[in-house]
Amino acid sequence: MSRPSTRAARYAALALVALAAPWLLPSYTTQMTFLWLMVVFALTWDIVGGQMGYNSFGNVLFFGIGAYACAVVQRDCGLGYFGSLALGTALAALAGTLAAAILGPGILALRGQYFAIGTLGLGIAAADIAAGWRYIGGGSGMVTPLFPGAVGARERFFYYLLLVVAVLTFATLRWLYAGRFGLTINAIRDDEEKAEAMGIRTTRHKTVAWCISALFLGLAGAVAGNMLGFIEPREFAFAGSTYGVWMVLMAMLGGRGTLWGPVIGACVFHITQEVFWTYLLGWQRVAMGLFILVVAVYFPRGIVGWFRQAR
Amino acid sequence: MSDLLQVRNLTKSFGGVVANREVSLSVPSDAIVGLIGPNGSGKTTLFNCIVGYQPIDRGSITFAGREVSRLRVPEIARLGLIRTFQQTRIYRNMSCMQNMQISVRHESEGLRTMFSKFVSEVNAQADALLEFVGLYDRSLLPAGELSFGQQKLLELAMALMNRPKMLLLDEPTAGVNPTLINGLIDRLQRANSEFGITLLVIEHNMRAIMHLAQHIYCLAHGELLASGSPQAIQNDRRVVDAYLAVQ
């Protein structure tokens, strides 16, 4: 561990880069906004998947719920743009958390592969329900209100908003992992039966862990939906085969069960993906598949895990 | 002396196999009681039933004056009845210190407690207990990297960290280096005398259990065969026959 002063300096430098980025590279602002979304995806997945050992393929559910909840509030509440966005985002976080609290005790009673399959079903079911529900636009999706401002300002606004969500997620997890909660979900990962035999309230901790994950995914969904301006049920809100799988890949790539692993994994994944799209168009999915294969075979513990082992 | 744990007429069967038939035993407060019997005689099943891991068919189990036979594992644990496992179980990827910290008693746990940091008393107690089992200099090592014997000691320390009223130990000396066994037995006796923890111990090492326990129950074929002082059990013809596999 490094000294607190050097660590603070490192955080400050990172913050400076993140704050200045849209002014230094204005044409990449949307790409970098997506990067923060990916960081939130990987971090929230790792709470349950990495730290607690429950591989979820359905976390995208909470992202979609957040996106839709916010859009519905914006459509119906009758406040101004920023008022309705603020209210919508808050209620989106609440809706995601509630969904996790209701589903958690049942779904989290499944173990191992059964949990993975069960959560996979959740995402698919949600996409189908959303596509058939007229109130939220059905298959044609929902359009979010128009941003009242210049084009460049809109992009920077959502860049900073998602940056705030990502930083908030990271800071919350950093605090939680350092205390009793982090150790409890680690114990559940290592040996759930032992944890029960020691009197740990496993169901309660598992559900709360999923709720924390859902809270930040709800926030991210609300902001990301507005950033794109259009919410589509299958390709965006409940996009299990892209976002849902990427969450898992990014966390594993960076090193699951570590604080920085998901952040680094998200950065590497996102940049790699952009590079493949730019230079290997037509073959980008094949290249991505090969890349994932190499990581899974040669770096099963991820980038952070590999560095720790090498030291 | 009042009985802390009382098992009355416990019956447990798996399909046609009766693992425990009408077993009754009682463990007084602050005592060390042994449970012996040949392989497959139903000792571990009895443990599993007591801690709520397997539902019982008939009978009753009272702990500290309370019927516990219908409670779930974590609920019973929180009452102060903790077990250790025959196949030692620790949290492999966490450091010894973290294993200890997370083994604190989990009484009432609202969100505020769940999200709290560990207070310095907890860390001091963890240090003291790691010292007690001789693992203080390993406290930052991942528990999975300890030797099997050391993992057994860590599991004991974790159980003590919980400040239970009673400990059920499933073969604490099995797989432990013979030179360490005396030290382990000594630790168990001190846990009993210094921390006031009542012990019920399954053990195959006869020398160890005869030395440790004040009272011994012997199971065979799922039924209670004999009970008495270590001397009486050693001289009991039925016990000797059961161990020498006279069917």
> Could B73 and A194 be called an inter-chain contact, meaning their C-beta atoms sit closer than 8 Å?
no
Other CB atoms within 10 Å distance of the CB of residue A141: 21
Residue with tokens 């209620």: A91
Strand B66-67 to B58-63 pairing: antiparallel
pLDDT, tens digit, 9 for 90 and up, residues B204-238: 888 889 999 999 999 988 889 889 999 888 888 88
- From A181, A194, A197, residue closest to B114, measured CB to CB: A181
Domain coordinates of chain B in residue numbers?
A: 3-90+165-243
Residues with Cβ < 8 Å from A281, sequence gap 6 or more?
A: none
Residues with Cβ < 8 Å from B241, sequence gap 6 or more?
A: none
**Residue A38 pLDDT:** 96
Other CB atoms within 10 Å distance of the CB of residue B62: 16
Other CB atoms within 10 Å distance of the CB of residue B57: 15
Q: Which DSSP string do the residues of B88-144 spell out, in sequence order?
A: ----TTSBHHHHHHTTS---S--HHHHTPPPPHHHHHHHHHHHHHTT-GGGTTSBGG
- Determine the residue type at A68: Y
Q: Are B95 and B139 in contact (CB under 8 A)?
A: yes
**Residue B245 pLDDT:** 61
Other CB atoms within 10 Å distance of the CB of residue A143: 14
Mutate to test the interface with A, among B51, B97, B106 (most CBs of A within 10 A): B106
- Determine the residue type at A82: F
**Residue A2 pLDDT:** 60
The CB-side HSE value for A112 (13 A sphere, CA atoms) comes to 2
Asked if B109 reaches chain A (Cβ–Cβ under 8 Å), the answer is: yes
pLDDT, tens digit, 9 for 90 and up, residues B131-148: 999 899 999 999 999 988
pLDDT, tens digit, 9 for 90 and up, residues B18-75: 899 999 999 999 999 999 988 888 899 999 999 999 999 999 999 999 999 999 999 9
CA distances from A285 to A66, A242, A243, A252, A282 (A): 28, 11, 14, 18, 8
Paired tokens of B118 = 């560990």
**CATH node for B3-90+165-243:** 3.40.50.300
Local mean pLDDT, 10-residue blocks, chain A (311 residues)? 78 90 87 95 96 93 96 91 94 96 93 90 91 88 86 89 96 94 96 94 95 97 94 90 90 92 94 88 86 84 86 72
Q: Are B176 and B203 in contact (CB under 8 A)?
A: no
- From A176, A200, A201, residue closest to B115, measured CB to CB: A176
Using CA coordinates, name the residue in chain B closest to A179: B117
CA distance B212 to chain A (A): 25
Q: Are B82 and B162 in contact (CB under 8 A)?
A: yes
CA A42, A44, A50, A53 dihedral sign is negative
- From B77, B89, B94, residue closest to A199, measured CB to CB: B77
**Residue B205 pLDDT:** 87
What ipTM, to 2 d.p.? 0.89
**Residue A258, phi then psi, degrees to nearest 5:** -120, 160
CA distances from B191 to A214, A280, B15, B214 (A): 44, 67, 39, 15
CA distance B237 to chain A (A): 37
